[in-house]
Structure formats: C-alpha cells, structure tokens
Amino acid sequence: MKRSPEVLSRILDALARHRTFCVVGHMRPDGDCIGSQLALALALRDRGKRVICWNEDPVPQKLAFLDAAGLFRLPEAGRRFDCVVATDCASYERLGGAGRELGRRRFLINIDHHESNTQYGDLNWVESRVPSTGELIFQLLKFARWPVTPAIADCLFTAISTDTGSFQYASTLPETYAAAGQLVKLGANVARICEIVYQSFPLSRVRLLRHVYHRFRLAHEDRTAYVWLRQADYVRTGARPDDSEGLIDHLRAIEPVVVACIFEEIEPELTRISLRSKNGRVRVNEILAPFGGGGHPAAAGARMPGRPGDVQRRVLRAVRAALDSNL
C-alpha cells in the first residue's frame, strides 16, 4: 500500500525527541482504538519511553486481555506529557474527558483512518482508504523497523479484525489480509483472540441482545431497522454500555435492511446514534454529518441533544432521504 515516507519520518522524529507519552483514544473505545493505542504504547515502552494510555471510558471488558502490561489509566488532572498521540479519533472533541486533561502537552500527533478527521494535531497522519488505524500503526512500526512482539501483534490483529468485521466489510483490502498474515507470523494468537472477542459473551450481553430482537422496529419499506437502548434496559439486563458493541450488526444482517440504527440514551436529553449501511451508495457518515457526527461510509455515529422523540424523527427522516435519493 502506498504511504508517505515523509509523514512517517516526521512522526518517528517526534517520537524520538520526546520522552514522556500519553496515547489517547476516543470515547467508548472499540477494538481498533484499544488495539492501536496499546500496540503503539508497548512499542514506545520497548524503546525506553515512559508511556501510559488514557480514554474517557474504561477498557471494554472483552478487550482487557490485551492490556496485560497495565498501561491504561483513568485521565488525571494536571498531568504533563512531552507528547500525546491520538489514535483512531476523528476529532479532538471525540477524546471527551481525556482531551480536557491534555492541555499541558508539548506536541500532539494524530493518527487515524476516518474520512471525517478534522486534522487537529500538530502532526497529522490520516489515511481514510485504510480500513483500520491498527493497520496504520503496523505500517509505522515496520517503517521504523521496531520489533513487533507477540503482545503487539495480538493488539494489532485485534484492531484490524474488529474494524473490518472479521475481514468481511467492503473496506477490507488485499493489503489488509497481508498485514493480518504477517501479524500471525509475528506471534498473534488468532485462536485466543477470536475466542475472547467473538465467541465468549457475558450473560448480560445476551439479555441485551434479546431486548434488541424483541424491541427493534422496521421502517422505510423494511429498509431501515432501529431500536432504542435506554438506561433502564442496562439496569434490567445487568449489562454495561460496552456490552452493546456489535449488537447493531444483528439488525444490519436482516435481509431487506439497508441501514441499521441504534439510539442509545446517554442522558434524558442526550442520545448516542450508531448507523450501519450495507449498500455503498448509502453513506451513513454523510447522513450524520449535519448532526455533528462522523465516521465511515458504512459505519458512523453521533451524539445528539434533544428530546428522544425529536432525535429519532430527525435521524430517521435523514435516513429515509438518503435511501430514496440513492436506491
């Protein structure tokens, strides 16, 4: 895959001249975010750097096995870092509370693959054609000729696999399969990763999935499937917010559905929206852009203030318009 040696060289120069690092990711981190953060943090630690990882939200339980080194910490007020590296985060606002504690820094590097990235770093490397930030981190480590240990390989394989839907999404490239194969050669334990990430779920998540199947609705001639997840649903099922990861794919898999949508109550008048599309002509990042959201053509999200009914009407109206215009 074509890459820019100039930007990679500049990133490596910046990493070399700084000593203390915070590798930070977006709110509600997923596998690509956590895997990318940890892979870079482990590589920096192996180079003798002092490094920790921050996110506004805790590491999802299903991904905790990747952080055997205990590099993740909750954000702390007043901490100073020579360099902050943001991975897999399209905007500074998406860093949430972690971003608010990172004002005392000398330099910010932004490494991401989201088309909607706002180029908020002092140094930006954004490749929207690449299907995961994990693949970018792997490119960086290879360019630097830094050792990729089995622990780093596990993190990168998890990042790439989860953000490509286990290599099923249309964004997956030939180079992506090649990168995954190289990571297996370098020690990625595919059987263990797949068992933990894809084949082992807490009962609380299964209860939440049952709620999704019982409560989802179809609209727009069955081309849209949507469901609400409210705080009371988490309490009733005993689930955690990170248990909702991947539930939207069950709606997306319904045969006539083109766009799947989950509305999640964050506060009484703040809703998290997740959209997925399985038709390349219906780009959900463009649907959510007017609402301050972003992401990829096939997967996007936003947080919208307002009364839940109003939020639902506005989003579904925008989905309907995109379906009618493109199909």
How many domains would you assign to the chain?
2
Among 180, 198, 216, identify where a domain stops.
Answer: 198
Regarding whether 305 and 171 lie in a shared domain, the answer is no
Regarding whether 184 and 37 lie in a shared domain, the answer is yes
pLDDT score of 322 more than 80: yes
Q: What CATH number did the domain enclosing 312 receive? A: 3.10.310.30
The whole-chain average pLDDT of the chain stands at 95
Distance CA 38, CA 134 (A): 10
Query: Is the distance from CB of 301 to CB of 288 less than 8 angstroms?
Result: yes
For residue 2, name the pLDDT band (cuts at 50, 70, 90): very low
Regarding whether 314 and 256 lie in a shared domain, the answer is yes
Q: Which single residue is written with the structure tokens 């399969």? A: 177
Regarding whether 193 and 88 lie in a shared domain, the answer is yes
Regarding whether 115 and 12 lie in a shared domain, the answer is yes
Domain carrying residue 144: 5-198
Distance CA 303, CA 293 (A): 7
Tens of pLDDT, residues 192-244: 999 999 999 999 999 999 999 999 999 999 999 999 999 999 999 999 999 99
> Element (H or E) spanning 51, and its range?
strand 50-54
Regarding whether 264 and 238 lie in a shared domain, the answer is yes
Structure tokens at 315: 């989003």
Q: What CATH number did the domain enclosing 23 receive? A: 3.90.1640.10
Distance CA 53, CA 228 (A): 32
Regarding whether 257 and 160 lie in a shared domain, the answer is no
pTM: 0.92
* Partners of residue 270 on adjacent β-strands: 267, 305
Query: Is the distance from CB of 304 to CB of 291 less than 8 angstroms?
Result: yes
Q: At what angle do helices 150-163 and 190-198 cross, to 10 degrees?
A: 50
Q: What percent of the chain has pLDDT over 70?
A: 99
Tens of pLDDT, residues 82-115: 999 999 999 999 999 999 999 889 999 999 999 8
Among 163, 198, 233, identify where a domain stops.
Answer: 198
Q: What is the pLDDT of residue 104?
A: 82
